[in-house]
Amino acid sequence: MNNSKVRIPKEIAPDVFALAAQLYAQENQDYSLEEIMQAGAEVQIPPEMIQQAIQQIQAKQIRERDRQRRLKLILTSGGIGAAIALFGFWTYNTVASNATPKGRSLEANLPSPNLPNANRLEIPPELPPTTGTTFTGEVKQYLLNPEGKVDGLLLNNGLQVKFPPQMADSLVGIITPNTKVSIFGNSGFSTRFGQEVRAKSITNSQTGQTLVEQPPTTAPQPPNLNNYSTLSAEGTAQNWLVGHRGEINGVIISNGTIVKFPPHVGEQLASMANIGNTIQAKGFGTRNRYGQILEATALSVNGQSVSLQPKAITNP
């Protein structure tokens, strides 16, 4: 049968490529440096870029292993040991997720040719945002960071709106669940799992109140150890959460719990993640009046255990 005339809609083409790459990778567990270089040459990627990519991935895996060790130490230690581990965990999330004191995301230093809006715009505190896209919807629930601070909104249309956690008090003061909102910001890569929007301003459409993104004025404070506890959750997947590049990094289950995990875990789930999946998770997190969030240290989907350990890259 000749499939050369079959047309693939552009909306699903990225998912087709991503899944095809994953299926191919499952049959080919590792590659020599020469094979990687040859594949790169076929698409005109310079060898030095391949080397740089390998180094960056290896560095990322080291950070992930450190992160996992900190989580395990938090779960198994008490007193001073737990406090030290928690501080390390908080430092990792602060550096990896929050803007720097100048209001610039760490991702702004990384090239992203496929996402022209991936870099956040530095905005002086006294000026409103000037470039971006407007989105509308109704707030379904708050999104939380591992400290339990509100750092975004899940809208009923699936958009996942992110906002600096240092502005959490201001955000919950004007926006509540079931509120209709207008969002102005930069959109991430759209996938079947959802789309992240980095908000520059959020407007309550009913009251007209607007909150504009501002850089932090003080250094972030260490988390309160008493706010953290060992948590477990079980339910069905209601919304899969994604990062700015479309990578899966969490799931909201039927009881409202937010389960977070590193993006490399999401890569394992790309072919099996669906609404209605049965989710079981254990980890360390926070429960407060805004919701419950846990950073997974154990995770299963439809009864199948998911590895939370980063893949190791063998040196050539």
The winner for highest mean pLDDT among 19-33, 58-72, 248-262 is: 248-262
Per-residue pLDDT for 110 more than 50? no
> How many whole angstroms separate alpha carbon 228 and alpha carbon 222?
12
Tell me if 263 sits within 8 A of 247, measured CB to CB: yes
Q: What is the mean pLDDT of residues 144-171?
A: 91
Q: What is the mean pLDDT of residues 258-277?
A: 90
**Three-state secondary structure of the chain:** CCCCCCCCCCCCHHHHHHHHHHHHHHHCCCCCHHHHHHHHHHCCCCHHHHHHHHHHHHHHHHHHHHHHHHHHHHHHCCHHHHHHHHHHHHHHHHHHHCCCCCCCCHHHHCCCCCCCCCCCCCCCCCCCCCCCEEEEEEEEEEEECCCCCEEEEEECCCEEEECCHHHHHHHHHHCCCCCEEEEEEEECCCECCEEEEEEEEEEECCCCCEEECCCCCCCCCCCCHHHCEEEEEEEEEEEEEECCCCCEEEEEECCCCEEECCHHHHHHHCCCCCCCCEEEEEEEEEEECCEEEEEEEEEEECCEEECCCCCCCCCC
pLDDT score of 239: 95
Per-residue pLDDT for 303 more than 50? yes
Torsion of CA 174, 289, 219, 285, to 10 degrees: -140
Tell me if 285 sits within 8 A of 293, measured CB to CB: yes
- β-strands 258-260, 291-301: how paired? parallel
Per-residue pLDDT for 86 more than 70? no
Per-residue pLDDT for 287 more than 80? yes
> How many whole angstroms separate alpha carbon 200 and alpha carbon 225?
31
Of 102-111, 138-147, 248-257, where does mean pLDDT reach its minimum? 102-111
Q: Which residue did the predictor score with more confidence, 309 or 195?
A: 195
Share the mean pLDDT of the chain.
76
Confidence of residue 88 (pLDDT cuts 50, 70, 90): low
pTM, rounded to two decimals: 0.60
Tell me if 248 sits within 8 A of 273, measured CB to CB: yes
Confidence of residue 123 (pLDDT cuts 50, 70, 90): very low
Per-residue pLDDT for 218 more than 80? no
